[in-house]
Amino acid sequence: MKLYNARTRSVEEFLPQSKKSITMYVCGITPNNAAHLGHAFTYVSFDVLIRFLRYLDYNVKYVQNVTDINDSDDVIKQANETHKTWQEVATYWTNDYLQYMDELNVQRPNDFIKATHVMPKILEIIGKLVETNYAYEKNGFVYFDTQKHKVYGILDHFSDRELLLLSKERGNNTQDLNKKHPLDFVLWFKSQHNEPSWPSRYGPGRPGWHIECSAIILQYLGNQIDIHGGGRDLLFPHHESEIAQSEAYTNNAPFVNVWMHTAMVMYKGDKMSKSLGNLILIKDVLQKYTGNQLRWYLLSKKYRNEFAYQEEDLEKAALEINTILSILSKFSTKKAVAINRHDFDQILLNDLNLPLALEYIKTICSRITDSNTTESLTNVALVKSCLETLGIVV
């Protein structure tokens, strides 16, 4: 299979470490808000990749995290404002997310891990990084020393100034006076008295966001994994930081073979994001459209091409999948029919070209007539098999 790999910045043949099994991780949510179309696009896209790899007979071990605690105070702030505990807030939004993923027929990960469940691993990694001078402690905080390890492997075409701007924009406090270098990032964050904390040799605190994903991967999937995914906005500093600290800890590179990123969903001229207040929530879309309809719409976009959400496109997609499902509903599924999926599989093998896969299905559907001819029955079986890989419920 050919996949675009951000590590090598090229479309290349995907070669898993094992012929039979694949280890895969996709960054999960911070449970402080309702899931939006950006989330839906990311998790639906990776869900199709996993379904397809499993169809190709790989045993895919898929792990995802929940950032139930981290160095930002998103969840804690909401808990204080709503007079709930931070655990209640995190659980509420995690369940909300899972409910809408279920409605979109996104398969659950094999392991769905809260950051707070890997605290010993997090502290073990930080301990070793401090011991080996990749990290340093200052006033109850621990930082990764970005000057000790080549951190910015994927983005090495960016200048330090650009990295600083990006870093700042995405939550890194570059003014922090404890730091040796403004790009250094937090591994352990000193908690205030009224904030949740875990004991450590640096004092009570909580982990930084980046170290959580590394710890979960190293504990559940091993020192080197086949595929790591996430939204493109996570590439820096989150994924670059994951690479730096993991490779420094294991002394093994590359930490990840293929880095895959889904493009941003735009709305009203900007990336859909909570801070910009231009979110289209999954729950609102599902008031009017079915999971199948929203899914078909998202699959009509190439996973690594940015696109702007427009309801007219969703309406059009909804009609398309309705037509396909109504054609299929006229045929009974009892008889097993031999099919040839070669053409469809080739489309997916080419860097998961989902828009083309949808066109292919529409073409095959147009050849299905009402009469129960062998050709129609074969095409019905073919379309059903393709839709199953795409996660459309027939």
- The length of the chain is 394
Q: Considering the complex, what minimum distance in angstroms separates the CB of residue 288 from Zn ion?
A: 32
Check if the beta carbon of residue 361 is closer than 8 Å to that of residue 387. Answer: yes
CA distance 216 to 122: 8
Closest distance to Zn ion from the beta carbon of 58 (Å):
23
Closest CA to 42 of 355, 263, 300: 263
> CB of 26: closest distance to Zn ion in angstroms?
8
CB of 129 to Zn ion, least distance (A): 17
Binding part of the chain for Zn ion, among 24-32, 84-92, 162-170, 383-391 by CB under 5 A, reads 24-32
| Least Å from the CB of residue 240 to Zn ion | 11
Residues 363-392 that bind Zn ion (CB under 5 A): none
Q: Residue 277, exposed/middle/buried by CB under 10 A (0-12, 13-18, 19+)?
A: exposed
213 vs 381, which CB is nearer to Zn ion? Answer: 213
The residue (of 178 and 250) whose beta carbon lies closer to Zn ion is 250
| Residue 262 CB contacts under 8 Å (≥ 6 apart), including other chains | 41, 42, 45, 46, 229, 230, 231, 232, 303, 304
- What distance in Å separates the CA atoms of residue 99 and residue 82, rounded to the nearest whole number? 22
Q: Which is nearer to Zn ion, 37 or 213 (CB)?
A: 213
Query: CA 29, CA 53: separation in Å to the nearest integer?
Result: 24
Subset of 181-200 contacting Zn ion (CB under 5 A):
none
x/- mask, Zn ion, residues 66-105, rule CB under 5 A, reads: ----------------------------------------
Q: Which stretch binds Zn ion (CB under 5 A): 23-31, 161-169, 321-329, 367-375?
A: 23-31
How far apart CA 343 and CA 348 sit, in angstroms, is: 9
Strand partners, 61: 23
Q: Which residues contact 118 (CB under 8 A, 6 or more apart)?
A: 212, 215, 216, 219
Nearest to Zn ion of 207, 291 (CB atom): 207
Binding segment for Zn ion among 73-81, 134-142, 211-219, 303-311 (CB under 5 A)? 211-219
Is 225 a binding residue for Zn ion by CB under 5 A? The answer is no
Contact region with Zn ion (CB under 5 A), list: 10-18, 210-218, 287-295, 305-313: 210-218
Residue 289 CA to residue 160 CA, distance in Å, equals 45
Question: Judged by CB under 5 A, which stretch of 129-137, 157-165, 206-214, 365-373 contacts Zn ion?
Answer: 206-214
What are the DSSP calls for 45-94, one per residue? HHHHHHHHHHHTT-EEEEEEEE-SS-SS-HHHHHHHHHT--HHHHHHHHH
CB of 46 to Zn ion, least distance (A): 13
Instruction: Tell me the C-alpha to C-alpha distance, in Å, between residue 55 and each of 65, 333, 356.
Output: 24, 20, 19
Nearer to Zn ion, 229 or 291 (CB): 229
Q: Which is nearer to Zn ion, 48 or 216 (CB)?
A: 216
- Closest separation in Å from C-beta 228 to Zn ion: 8
53 vs 216, beta carbon nearer Zn ion: 216
* Burial class (CB within 10 angstroms; exposed 0-12, middle 13-18, buried 19+) of 138: middle
Residue 103: is it exposed, middle or buried by C-beta count within 10 angstroms (0-12/13-18/19+)? middle
C-beta of 211 vs 321, nearer to Zn ion: 211
* Near Zn ion by CB under 5 A: residue from 3, 24, 26, 27: 27
Nearer to Zn ion, 27 or 260 (CB): 27
213 binds Zn ion (CB under 5 A): yes
Residues that bind Zn ion (CB under 5 A): 27, 213
